[in-house]
């Protein structure tokens, strides 16, 4: 753990020229949280972290060494506002409210969980199968409504910028919501198998378990299994 923290801090300093991080608080007693740019005054970082600690079991954050809050160049490169990399969460300081920040941290935590429990989540292929069956059904629905575009591969589990642009720009997420109701947990969960898991992880731990179980039973079962894995 100590070696990973040194590696992560060195990476941050080298990449972002952050020399004097402000240690704001400690998450789960051993995860340092640094704020490199201030949050809006109405957001209490301590409140955000305490609320997450109440819903996410400790073993889910074992692969997280630090959290950095601010603005990082990868946000612009990737067109994201949060990401997980090398044992650290990078979260934007530009948050609408505390719920918005909780969503970001929980979602990126899901990718650390994938790193730890990848074989349990994906090993038997069942989650991939559920995801691709939903992708196939969506393609059929879009074709029926005259939106299908065979230039995009609906049967890939990897993120595809072209497909995301097609769904977001050509169809529009508002309209897409109509096509995906009862099929996917959210529009963004369509974009890749990893994001399918990430959105499911959010919904499971942030109070939408019943909806998730109804829409994506295999996804729900996988998250439930790793939720209680340390207790077995």
Tell me: the pLDDT tens digits for 63-112? 999 999 999 999 999 889 999 999 999 999 999 999 999 999 999 999 99
CA angle 23, 29, 89 (to 5 degrees): 60
pTM reported for the whole predicted model = 0.88
In whole angstroms, give the CA distance from residue 85 to residue 101.
18
Quick one: what percent of the chain has pLDDT higher than 90?
77
In whole angstroms, give the CA distance from residue 88 to residue 79.
18
Tell me: the pLDDT tens digits for 158-178? 999 889 989 988 899 889 999
With respect to CATH, is domain 2-119 assigned 3.10.170? yes
Domain map (residue ranges) of the chain: 2-119, 124-231
In whole angstroms, give the CA distance from residue 131 to residue 119.
17
SS3 117: helix
Tell me: the pLDDT tens digits for 18-38? 444 555 688 998 999 999 999
Among candidate residues 187, 191, 162, 48, the one with its CA nearest the CA of residue 106: 48
């Amino acid at each position: 753990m100590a070696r990973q923290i040194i590696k992560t801090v060195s990476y941050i300093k080298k990449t972002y020229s952050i020399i004097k991080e402000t240690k704001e608080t400690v998450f789960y007693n051993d995860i340092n949280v640094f704020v490199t740019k201030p949050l809006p005054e109405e957001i209490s970082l301590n409140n955000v972290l305490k609320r997450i600690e109440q819903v996410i079991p400790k073993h889910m954050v074992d692969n997280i060494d630090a959290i950095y809050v601010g603005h990082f160049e990868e946000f612009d490169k990737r067109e994201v506002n949060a990401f997980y990399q090398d044992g650290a969460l990078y979260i934007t300081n530009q948050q609408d409210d505390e719920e918005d920040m909780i969503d970001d941290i929980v979602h990126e935590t899901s990718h650390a969980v994938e790193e730890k429990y990848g074989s349990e989540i994906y090993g038997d292929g069942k989650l991939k199968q559920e995801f691709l069956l939903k992708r196939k059904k969506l393609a059929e629905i879009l074709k029926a409504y005259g939106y299908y575009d065979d230039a995009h591969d609906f049967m890939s589990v990897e993120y595809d910028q072209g497909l995301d642009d097609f769904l977001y720009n050509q169809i529009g997420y508002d309209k897409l919501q109509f096509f995906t109701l009862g099929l996917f947990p959210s529009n963004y969960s369509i974009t890749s198998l990893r994001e399918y898991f990430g959105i499911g992880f959010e919904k499971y731990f942030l109070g939408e378990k019943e909806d998730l179980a109804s829409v994506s039973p295999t996804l729900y079962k996988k998250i439930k299994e790793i939720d209680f894995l340390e207790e077995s």
